[in-house]
Amino acid sequence: MRLLLIGAPGAGKGTQAELLAERLGITHISSGDLLRQHVRDSTTLGQTIRSYVDQGDLVPDGVVMDMLRKPVVAASETGGYVLDGFPRTVDQAKAAFAVAEPLGAAVQAAVHLDVPTDELVRRLLSRGRGSDDTEAVIEHRLQVYEENTVPLLEYYAGREWMFTVDGAQPAEVVHDDIVGRLRRLAALAAEAW
């Protein structure tokens, strides 16, 4: 299974990706976690991207694509992936599809985790991950999401493999909703044959 999780900062992408990876035996790939690891390790890439991540701005598309290509292809050869935080823009979605489709690694389902803004802010402030969980940076990340990722949801809208779940419910309930929807999608795909 090859899945995408799309949602605002704090929507629960990482939380749900972990649960799905375990349940479905697929690889969790988080663009944010990989980028933060580069920053922590002070790699050449980490030094280039630190200010983007700290300020809550999107890292340039090419950098993210280069970083994800290998792990995504490897995961699709070994059971599949749940991608958390990528794509985040229509351009990233188009570029990724062009690379993945010929390799048989293109996405099969996309999940939108929908959570009200006040709950997002509450979650992020209480988590306090580091430099990007301050009040000002959270506000900026939410704005970046509205400007860049909401158009991606509009771009995917109407595709039968994209669905929205209520991400404000307890994490286990959100997980069960996602699994239920994936089962229905799989059943529909089987009927189509």
x/- mask, ligand AP5, residues 93-122, rule CB under 6 A, reads ------------------------------
User: Least Å distance between CB 107 and Mg ion?
Assistant: 18
Closest CA to 138 of 17, 6, 10: 10
Residue 163 structure tokens: 């669905």
| Nearest position to Mg ion, beta carbon | 14
Which tokens in the block code for residue 105?
């690694």
In the complex, the smallest distance separating the C-beta of residue 84 from Mg ion, rounded to whole angstroms, is: 6
Supply the DSSP string of 61-130, one letter for each residue. Answer: HHHHHHHHHHHHHHHHTTT-EEEES---SHHHHHHHHHHHGGGT---SEEEEEE--HHHHHHHHHHH--S
For tokens 């991608």, the residue is 83
Query: Quick one: what does residue 59 bind among ligand AP5, Mg ion, none, with the CB cut-off 5 to 8 Å set by partner type?
Result: ligand AP5
Closest to 69 in 3D by CA, of 103, 112, 42: 103
CB of 160 to ligand AP5, least distance (A): 24
Residue 14 binds to Mg ion (criterion: CB under 5 A):
yes
Q: Fill in the per-residue mask, 55 to 84: x = in contact with ligand AP5 (CB under 6 A), - = not in contact.
A: -xxxx----x--------------------
Residue from 6, 45, 123, 165 binding ligand AP5 (CB under 6 A)? 123
Contacting residue, 28, 50, 88, 112, with ligand AP5 by CB under 6 A = 88
Nearer to ligand AP5, 57 or 114 (CB): 57
**Closest CB 4 distance from ligand AP5, rounded Å:** 11
- Residue 154 beta carbon to ligand AP5: minimum distance, rounded to whole angstroms: 17
Task: Locate 33 and state its tokens.
Answer: 């976690």
In this chain, which of 2, 4, 6, 7 binds ligand AP5, going by CB under 6 A? Answer: 7
Instruction: Please list the residues that pair with 164 across neighbouring strands.
Output: 112
Residue type (1 letter), 147: E
Q: How far apart are CA 51 and CA 54, in angstroms?
A: 5
SS3 state at 5: strand
Residues that bind ligand AP5 (CB under 6 A): 7, 9-15, 31-32, 35, 52-53, 56-59, 64, 85-86, 88, 92, 123, 127, 132, 141, 170-171, 174
